[in-house]
Structure formats: C-alpha cells, structure tokens
C-alpha cells in the first residue's frame, strides 16, 4: 500500500511543502530512502526501525521505499523521522485509521524508543501549513508553543509517537491543540528586562552617547581600559531601543526558530536580541552558511544588537565578511540549487581596549606599550568596518566614590522615552523612502538634503576638523550624528552646539589619537 504524509522543509526562513511517500512492496528486501536525503535523513531508518519494534509494531519483511518529494530539493535533518514512521505504520496497515492523515502536517525527530525530540523551524512550518489550508500540525511538544502562534491551525504538541497513532486511531481525539495568546504574551514581556541603565553608576556622558546611538540607530564603538564598564554598558543597549513591533518580532522569531535557538516552549521573541559572539568565532558562524544554510550571529541579532567585545581580537577575515551584510541588512547564501536570504538588520556595538596594555590615554595610569604599539593595535580593525561606525566613545572607569554612591541614576525607561520620540521624527522624515527608518541609514544624497548646516556651523566644523586633525570621513558621520542630536532635542535645524557634541564622538579619526 502507498501512503502520503505531509511534511515540510525549511530553507532560509521559509518552509516549503514536502510529501513523504511510503510504499510497502510485496517483494524485495532492504528499505530505500530517495529524494535527495542527506545523511541525517538516511540514518532516519535506524531510528524508525527501533521505534517501531520498541512500541510493539512489526517491521515489514519486504521492501519499503520512502520518497521525499519534490525530489530535486535537498532534505536534511532528522525531522522526517516521525512522518516516515507514521507513513510506514499506515502503509503496513498497522495504523488502522489513516484517512485523516491528509489533513495534517507531521514533523518530528524520533529517539530510539519513540520519544520525540525538538525540530528546527516549527514556526515557518506552521505558517506554511496554514497557508496551504491544512487542518492541523503535529510537532514535538517543546516546539508546539512556537508553532501555536499561527492562527487558524490546530497545533498539537506530542511527546511520543504513541500519542500520534492514538490520535488518528481514535478519530482525531485525545490531543488538545495549544492555545497561545501571542498579543498578550508579547506586550506583557516587552519591557521585562532584568538589567537597567540605572545599574550603571555615573558615566553620564557614555549613557548620553548610547542614547544618541539608540535614537539614530548608529553603530558605536566603546574604547576604554579593562574594567571600565564597557561590556556592562553595551549589554544595556536593548533596554533603551524602541519596542519591537509585532512584524519585527515575528521576523526575528522565525530566524531563531530556523536556527533551533528558541528556548523550549518559547513563543514570540518580544525583546530586541543582544548577541555577543566570542572573538574566536568562525566566518560561517558569524554571517551564516553551511551546506544546509543556517543563519549566523548577524541574523540572530536581526532587529537587535550585535556586540563584538574586544573588536581587535576578531580575525580580520571575519570582520571583512560582515561588511556587505551591514550595508544590505541581509545576507545571501548561495548553494548549487538555491540561494537563501537571511535578514540581518542590526545595530553594531563594539568594544576595545585603546592599546595592548589597555591604559593608553588613561587619566591616571600610564600606558606601558612600546612606541607604535597603539597604532598597530588600531590597524587590526579594518578601515572600511570602522567607516561604518558613527560613534567612537571613550570610556574611563568611574572613581570609587561614585561607584559606592547611593545617588539614583536615570532609568532605561526614561532614556527610552527620549529615544522613541526621536525615532518618531525620523520615521516621518523617511516616510517616502522605503527601507530607511533612521538617520544612520541615510544615503549620502539624503545626507546632503537633510543635514544642512548654516554658516556658523560650517565655520565651527571646519575649525574643529583642522584643530583635531579629523579625516574627511569624519565629516559625514558628524553631520548624521548631529541630526540625531537635533531630533532628540526636537529641533528642526542642526545647531552649532549639536555639531560640537557630535565632534566629540570621532576619537579614532583624530590625527594624534594614537600618538
Ligand atoms: N559605572 C559602573 N557602575 C557600576 N558597576 C560598574 C561600573 N563600571 C564597572 N562596574 C563593575 O565592573 C565590572 C566590570 O565591568 P565590565 O566587564 O563592563 O568592564 P569592561 O570595560 O568590559 O572590561 P574589559 O575590558 O575587562 O572587558 C562590571 O561587571 C561592574 O560590576
Ligand atoms: Mg568587557
């Protein structure tokens, strides 16, 4: 008997329908799995066989052919175990009542005893199943809530294959679909951070710089000695960014779902992600890739923050591969048969010590690096990457008496309010330009139109650039950042004082900085 089970395969952040055909032949031997399976799928047979026998069913003695259609797309992973096993039970008529199988999509990895293990991409699979008009989706219980966000689809979470066979034998009875109130859960947890800017004592000027970065979506680099609080400050950036919108949250959740990075029983990601990969990370792990393309850290940071701590320690090649995705806000991975896009729109935060010993330009301690070491250290960061960072912020440790002071600090909520107001001004400004939402994303043509400064401003900027020895590339960055400062003030024009503040955030462009 020939049986067809509906399954799904995930490419990029979308799922496509796959039909698992199982045919039990009257003669012949040895099972065959065809339709471009990878090794994990081929090994599936071992898990299926063990599950069937452990649960008191019989393995057929004659040939079984499993075809995963369409045959021209590569199938990977172990999630086809469950549909293959159910298909086999139906084809051999050990599953008595199989008429309803056609109404469901079934996916899950089996362990040897028939217990189910997590699958990747349950959310895009559910979206696809709904689109095709299926009545229900059966997935491992740990993935059910993530899939259950999709409306108008019964999503059943199961822990064991026996629950699936019972469900169909009893005429679709015995399982309760998950109910997820996405909206309520989303809005309830949006601001439930366990860290806050008020944890950071002092550092008013750094907090101000991060407020500007958040307000304009500017990439930023924190430069300072060990223990100055760089990591602590960077981690708090998501707490002052505007709230995720529902479509943004869904997009980010899909990426995490596909990567298998959603926590068990998770639903929608409601907070902006903060990713901080270690500096030993490989190119593929950072930007994505692999024979079955998987999203990298830059995509897991989509709509949030990518924090590269100790920037000069990263391999140069790793930083180079990031350049294009930073521009395009997505990464395209091409394989023989398909090309997939992973969104990668993130704010880049980086940190570094100013020099190998860490105390260059320190107010109290002397730098012990040999001459030229500072410049050499800086040169480890590629110029083009540095070009994409609008703010350079020098962080010095707060003195002990400030650390121990009981004075209350500005909260993330207060900073966020100002950020949101400034973003609203920008949204209105860029309304007619699709794909541009904040000042950091302005093209150089828009910059010329939008960041107009008067003669006094011009004169000030010229003088400052000469005096500090700022390079030409600093010019555009200063204009963009001063536009954001103006937006935070609710000011229509870029006033000289905004320029003056923006000029402070170009440390690394100063001629004598490494000197
Ligand atoms: N302004 C501050 N307010 C409160 N705690 C602080 C402050 N600055 C530093 N700390 C404390 O010092 C610790 C070290 O800070 P952090 O790890 O952020 O430093 P860093 O600049 O990243 O150093 P490194 O270069 O060694 O990574 C923090 O975890 C925090 O406990
Ligand atoms: Mg640190």
Highest mean pLDDT among 303-312, 319-328, 350-359: 303-312
Atom index in ligand 1 nearest the CA of residue 397 equals 8
* pLDDT > 70? residue 23: yes
Please identify which residue in the block is written with the tokens 């909206």.
183
- pLDDT computed for residue 515 by the predictor: 64
Here the tokens at position 447 are: 């910059």
Atom index in ligand 1 nearest the CA of residue 229 equals 18
Here the tokens at position 200 are: 């950071």
Protein residue with its CA nearest to atom 27 in ligand 1: 226
What lines the ligand 1 site, CB under 6 Å? 200-203, 224, 226-232, 353, 398, 403
> Model confidence at 85, in pLDDT bands (50, 70, 90)?
very high
* pLDDT > 90? residue 95: yes
Atom index in ligand 1 nearest the CA of residue 228 equals 21
Q: Which residues pair with 223 in a beta bridge?
A: 352, 394
pLDDT in tens, 262-312: 988 888 898 999 999 999 999 999 999 988 899 999 999 999 999 999 999
- pLDDT computed for residue 385 by the predictor: 81
Of 253, 205, 258, 273, the C-alpha closest to 233 is: 205
Packing angle between helix 496-503 and helix 455-468, nearest 10 degrees? 20
Of 162, 231, 190, 245, the C-alpha closest to 427 is: 245
Task: Report the range of poorest mean pLDDT among 65-69, 170-174, 380-384, 454-458.
Answer: 380-384
Give the three-state DSSP class for 416.
helix
Residue 72: exposure state from Cβ atoms within 10 A (0-12, 13-18, ≥19):
exposed
Please state the φ and ψ torsions of residue 500, each to the nearest 5 degrees: -60, -40
* pLDDT > 70? residue 337: yes
Average pLDDT score over the chain: 91
Question: How many A from CA of 408 to the centre of ligand 1?
Answer: 18
Query: Can you tell me the mean pLDDT for 175-191?
Result: 85
* pLDDT > 90? residue 479: yes
Give the three-state DSSP class for 365.
coil
- pLDDT computed for residue 192 by the predictor: 81
- pLDDT computed for residue 48 by the predictor: 96
- The dihedral built from the CA positions of residue 377, 472, 386 and 452, taken in this order, carries a sign that is positive
Question: How many A from CA of 225 to the centre of ligand 1?
Answer: 10
pLDDT in tens, 26-78: 999 889 999 988 888 889 999 999 999 999 999 999 999 999 999 988 888 89
Closest ligand, as measured to the CA of 399: 1
The number of helix segments (H) and strand segments (E) in the chain equals: 21, 18
Task: Give percent helix, percent strand, percent coil of the chain, each to the nearest 5.
Answer: 40, 15, 40
Alpha-carbon separation of residue 182 from 112, 151, 191, 242, 253 (angstroms): 34, 10, 15, 19, 12
> Model confidence at 512, in pLDDT bands (50, 70, 90)?
low
Model pTM? Answer: 0.90
* pLDDT > 90? residue 206: yes
Q: Which residues contact 150 (CB under 8 A, 6 or more apart)?
A: 123, 126, 127, 129, 130
Mutate to test the pocket of ligand 1, among 197, 199, 204, 227 (most ligand atoms within 8 A of CB): 227
Closest ligand, as measured to the CA of 233: 1
* pLDDT > 90? residue 120: yes
């Amino acid at each position: 008997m020939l049986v067809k089970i509906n399954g799904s395969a995930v490419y990029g952040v979308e799922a496509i329908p796959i039909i698992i055909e199982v045919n039990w032949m009257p003669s012949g031997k040895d099972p065959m799995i065809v339709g471009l399976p990878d090794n994990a799928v081929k090994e599936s047979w071992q898990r299926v066989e063990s599950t069937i026998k452990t649960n008191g069913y019989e393995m057929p003695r004659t040939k079984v052919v499993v075809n995963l259609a369409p045959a021209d797309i590569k199938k990977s992973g172990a999630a086809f175990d469950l549909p293959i096993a159910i298909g086999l039970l139906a084809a051999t008529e050990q599953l008595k009542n199989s008429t309803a199988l056609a109404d469901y999509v079934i996916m899950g990895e089996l362990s040897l005893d028939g217990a189910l293990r997590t699958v990747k991409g349950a959310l895009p699979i559910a979206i696809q199943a709904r689109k095709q008009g299926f009545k229900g989706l059966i997935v491992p219980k740990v993935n059910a809530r993530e899939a259950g966000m999709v409306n108008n689809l019964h999503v059943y979470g199961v822990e064991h294959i026996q629950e699936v066979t019972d469900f169909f034998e009893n005429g679709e009875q015995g399982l309760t679909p998950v109910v997820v109130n996405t909206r309520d859960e989303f809005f309830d947890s949006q601001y439930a951070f366990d860290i806050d800017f008020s944890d950071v004592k002092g550092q008013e000027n750094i907090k101000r710089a991060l407020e500007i970065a958040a307000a304009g979506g500017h990439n930023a680099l924190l430069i300072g000695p060990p223990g100055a609080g760089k990591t602590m400050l960077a981690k708090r950036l998501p707490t002052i960014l505007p709230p995720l919108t529902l479509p943004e949250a869904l997009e980010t959740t899909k990426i995490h779902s596909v990567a298998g990075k959603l926590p068990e029983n998770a639903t929608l990601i409601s907070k902006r992600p903060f990713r901080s990969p270690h500096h030993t990370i490989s190119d593929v792990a950072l930007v994505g890739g692999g024979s079955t393309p998987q999203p990298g850290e830059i995509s897991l940071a989509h709509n949030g923050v990518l924090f590269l701590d100790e920037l000069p320690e990263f391999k140069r090649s790793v930083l180079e591969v990031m350049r294009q995705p930073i521009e395009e806000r997505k990464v395209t991975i091409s394989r023989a048969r398909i090309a997939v896009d992973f969104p990668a729109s993130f704010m880049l935060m980086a940190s570094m010590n100013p020099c190998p010993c860490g105390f260059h330009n320190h107010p109290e301690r002397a730098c012990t690096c040999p001459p030229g070491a500072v410049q050499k250290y800086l040169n480890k960061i590629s110029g083009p990457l540095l070009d994409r960072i609008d703010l350079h912020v020098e962080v010095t440790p707060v003195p002990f008496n400030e650390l121990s002071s009981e004075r209350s600090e500005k909260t993330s909520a207060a900073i966020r309010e100002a950020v949101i107001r400034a973003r609203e001004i920008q949204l209105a400004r860029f309304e007619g330009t699709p794909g541009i939402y904040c000042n950091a994303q302005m093209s150089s043509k828009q910059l010329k139109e939008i960041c107009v400064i008067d003669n006094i401003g011009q004169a000030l900027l010229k003088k400052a650039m000469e005096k500090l020895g700022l390079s030409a590339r600093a010019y555009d960055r200063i204009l963009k950042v001063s536009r954001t400062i103006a937006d935070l003030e609710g000011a229509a024009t870029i006033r000289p004082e905004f320029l003056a503040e923006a000029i402070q955030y170009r440390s690394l462009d100063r001629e004598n900085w490494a000197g």
